Amino acid sequence: MPEEPDWLAGKRAETSVPVHPLIADRWSPRALDPGAEVPLEHLRALFEAARWAASHGNTQPGRYLVGRRGDDTFQRIFSTLRPGNQSWAGSAGALLLGMVRTVDKRGPIPNAEYGLGLAVQNLVLQAVSLGLVTHQMGGFDREAVHAAFDLPPDVRPVVVVAIGTVGDVEDLPEDLRGREVAGRLRRPLGELVFTGEWGTPAFE
């Protein structure tokens, strides 16, 4: 296995208190290795992790289409991406399309997108545990997805996720290289978590 480039160490999250390494090490690269494959057993593990996510009343609204690089499903998902995402996502070992069922036999499914979000977070953390990386995208044509896969009317496409291993930054378009190696930033907890009333930080 090749040595990790020095800049990759800077991608670990700098947290105010220690968090699990799976969380600290999760990030969203665009530089993916075009020769690396995602084994079927790894894909199965990712979707098994997603299957066991919490959902509203165990409605499990998440549905997925997945293709591995070189197959027809991969190409059809890829064809729906916006050009900016197409400039790098073709190097992924797999592309998955995350969707929600919006209705079941009881009627409209509450909090369907929240359920899919929980499932996809399980999936991406499982990917980290297997030495894989993921990049989630909202930049795709939802009408094209419906046409390409003849989706039922009660299914709504939400996200495309590229899955693979880290590749060479130099393979990215020039305008993306700086973003790839830059440090990661998040708002401080004081701007996000309040107590007593809105705007009063729960943590200094």
Distance between CA atoms of residues 131 and 179, nearest Å: 22
Cα separation, 118 vs 57, whole angstroms: 14
**Mean pLDDT across 98-127:** 97
Taken in order 130, 87, 121, 156, the sign of the CA dihedral is: negative
Mean pLDDT, rounded, for 189-198: 96
Interval 74-96 mean pLDDT: 98
What angle, 0 to 180 degrees and rounded to 10, lies between the N-to-C axes of helices 40-51 and 112-129? 140
Query: What share of the chain has pLDDT > 90, as a percent?
Result: 93
pLDDT band at 10 (very low <50, low <70, confident <90, very high): confident
* 3 pLDDT higher than 90: no
pLDDT tops 70 at residue 2: no
The amino acid occupying position 18 is P
DSSP state of 70: T
Alpha helices (runs of H) in 15-167, residue ranges in sequence order: 21-24, 40-51, 72-79, 83-89, 112-129, 142-149
Q: Give 1's pLDDT tier (boundaries 50, 70, 90).
A: very low
41 and 105 Cβ atoms separated by less than 8 Å: no
pTM greater than the 0.75 cutoff: yes
Measuring CA to CA, which residue among 101, 80, 102 is closest to residue 162? 80
Q: What is the mean pLDDT of the chain?
A: 95
Which one is predicted more confidently, 6 or 118? 118
DSSP class per residue in 99-141: EEE-EETTEEPTTHHHHHHHHHHHHHHHHHHTT-EEEEE--B-
Per-position b or e across 82-108, b if 16+ CB within 10 A of its CB: eeebeebbbbbbbbbbbbbbeeeeeee
